[in-house]
Structure 1
Amino acid sequence: MKPATHDAGMTVSRPAVGVLLRDWRRRRRLSQLELSIRADISTRHLSFLETGRSSPSREMVLQLADRLDLALRERNRLLLAAGFAPVYSENALDAPPMTVIRSAIRQVLDGHEPYPAVVVDRSWNLVAANESLSVLTDLVAPRLLVPPANVLRASLHPNGLAPHIVNLGEWRSHLLHRLSRQVEFSGDPDLADLEEELRGYPGGETHASGPTANDIVVPVRLRRGGRVLNLFTTLATFGTPLDVTLSELSIESFYPADEETARELRTRRSDPS
């Protein structure tokens, strides 16, 4: 472990870069030979880097991080572990450099009306939303919407959307599968804790059967006011982020899966009462 000194004078342990490289290689299910071929280095050199017998250059850290397909946050962590300064900035969304990003997000959210849309961070915490999200949040207990509100928790919690979802088992399986893949790819312990929490919620057996020949997407069927709204979602990210915060933002947009739902959402937009 390498020491890391903070401004307050406290020293904490930080994993050596070789340990992190080895752990990420194993998480990606790559042998040393496979990774060395991808990175165009010898297996011997990679072995020396992982065991600490050799120290990687800044360029080598970035090259290996790229071949391991690491998130920007993890690339910065590797650089710090190797003794280098982070390459990627991490600005708060309300910081001046993010002004154009905030404007773009607002344009996307507003342009999606009268259908719901949200912006979430890597932990699925709500960052921003359009007014039409109220068609969902009106059904959620207020305490689940206190910032930082987690949209997956609000969806599957017994006091959230879960009691109103007609196909809860199917939708629950879809969300848990998505989260499980994210946990596996990112290694994020907070996401692993969230997955464990969500799997412990009652109110819907995991949907085990596969799609039928007529299925196109997995919808969420939401019972509201005597009607059932059929919605499907798309997930969008920024294409070429160089900022950690920006790279971890996703925009999830809800679309009507039938004309009845579209008409209901349009009517609700024009007459919220």
Structure 2
Amino acid sequence: MTIMAGMGGPTGTGVGPLLRGWRERRQLSQLRLALRADSSARHLSFVENGRSRPSRELLLRLAEELDVPVREHNTLLLAAGYAPHYPETPLDDPSIAALRGGLERLLTAHDPYPAVVVDGSFRVLAANRSLGLLLDGVAPHLLEPPFNAVRITLHPDGLAPRIVNLRQWRQHLLERMARQLELVRAEPLRRLYEEVSGYPVPAEEPVAGPTAGNPAAGDPAALGSPFALPFRIRHEGWVLSFLSTIATFNTPLDVTVSELAMETFLPADAATAAFLQSAVRPGNDAAGR
């Protein structure tokens, strides 16, 4: 496993418009936000109109009340002429070695089921051996590091031709990206969304044929799940079905850490679990292809 570093920097157009934008997004009045932040509606109005400069302490309180992401905390401070509050530590920095090691141990422990760590733009920073099983057949140009999880999933030269419920999974990913864009005004993420939303999509979901030991593969009803939307992908004559979970760090104090997410894939049926148990084990290179 290799963890790759690198994050974009903050941008802003003035602290007043930025604050107003976050307040309106959270659907709060000036009075209600001011009361929460121990200020006054008059002062907040002056700040939003550029007639007053907020103190660093007030700006941090406002950001907390507005549930502004860590990176955008720094954006607000810079727009007001203050130094950033949160550091942005590269993942290859020695000071973050313990965290990096913890992530790698979690990834390894999740084998034989796929798991991946991505940043706020869905770039893959680390993955376990089992992810290689899903990436079988992906075009080499899509795997050049740092490769992007969403691009690989939806690209016609990536996983898309093998995903049984591509229309469903595509909608899920695009909605997830849209929610991310509501939180972070990231130009690279916006460009990625525009790119992948333009990829071709089938007119209707194909029905996978049944395979030995995988009897549910040809059942159209199996495209759904009573628990969560499954990710269903063809592999070596099988249809593997996964449920996805996403974990982030609680109360992060670093920009880099705040944007890390570990996505793990759990088998959604017994056939998938049995296949992975036999395919991904010590001495078997199936996951590394």
TM-score, normalised on structure 2? 0.84
Does 2:33 correspond to 1:31? Answer: no
Which letter maps to 2:253? L
Using the alignment, how far apart are the partners of 1:94 and 1:182 within structure 2?
25
Cα RMSD over matched residues?
A: 2.1
Using the alignment, how far apart are the partners of 1:251 and 1:81 within structure 2?
31
Does the 8 Å CA contact 2:155/2:199 hold for their aligned counterparts? yes
Q: Which residue of 2 aligns with 1:180?
A: 178
Q: Which residue of 1 aligns with 2:199?
A: 201
1:185 Cα deviation after fit: 2.5
Which letter maps to 1:244? V
Which letter maps to 2:268? A
Larger RCO: 1 or 2 (CA < 8 Å, sep 6+): 2
Query: Alignment length, in residue pairs?
Result: 258
Does 2:272 correspond to 1:261? Answer: yes
Using the alignment, how far apart are the partners of 1:29 and 1:126 within structure 2?
34
1:35 Cα deviation after fit: 2.2
Using the alignment, how far apart are the partners of 1:33 and 1:62 within structure 2?
17
Does the 8 Å CA contact 1:219/1:231 hold for their aligned counterparts? yes
Q: Which residue of 1 aligns with 2:253?
A: 242
Using the alignment, how far apart are the partners of 2:249 and 2:58 within structure 1?
26
Q: 1:158 to 1:114 in 2, by over 3 A?
A: same
1:14 Cα deviation after fit: 5.8
Deviations 1:152-187 (A, max 9, x none): 010001111000001111111111111111112223
Which letter maps to 2:39? I
Using the alignment, how far apart are the partners of 1:183 and 1:123 within structure 2?
10
1:134 Cα deviation after fit: 0.5
Using the alignment, how far apart are the partners of 1:185 and 1:33 within structure 2?
23
Q: 1:184 to 1:226 in 2, by over 3 A?
A: same
Does the 8 Å CA contact 2:12/2:18 hold for their aligned counterparts? no
Q: Once structures 1 and 2 are overlaid, which stretch shifts more, 135-144 or 104-113?
A: 135-144
Does the 8 Å CA contact 1:234/1:253 hold for their aligned counterparts? yes
Secondary structure in 2 matching 1:24: helix
Q: Which residue of 1 aligns with 2:217?
A: none
Which letter maps to 1:272? D
What is the percent sequence identity of the aligned residues?
Answer: 52
Deviations 1:182-239 (A, max 9, x none): 11222323222221211111023599xxxx9962111011111111000111000111
Using the alignment, how far apart are the partners of 1:137 and 1:201 within structure 2?
19
Q: Once structures 1 and 2 are overlaid, which stretch shifts more, 18-27 or 80-89?
A: 18-27
Q: Which residue of 1 aligns with 2:162?
A: 164
Does the 8 Å CA contact 1:172/1:204 hold for their aligned counterparts? no
Does the 8 Å CA contact 1:232/1:254 hold for their aligned counterparts? yes
Using the alignment, how far apart are the partners of 1:201 and 1:37 within structure 2?
47
Q: Which residue of 1 aligns with 2:67?
A: 69
Q: Which residue of 2 aligns with 1:233?
A: 244
1:145 Cα deviation after fit: 1.1
Q: Once structures 1 and 2 are overlaid, which stretch shifts more, 21-30 or 53-62?
A: 21-30
Which letter maps to 1:143? H
Which letter maps to 1:260? A
Does the 8 Å CA contact 1:163/1:203 hold for their aligned counterparts? no
Secondary structure in 1 matching 2:172: helix
Which of 122, 131, 142 pairs up with 1:124? 122
Unaligned runs of 5+ in 2: 1-10, 206-222
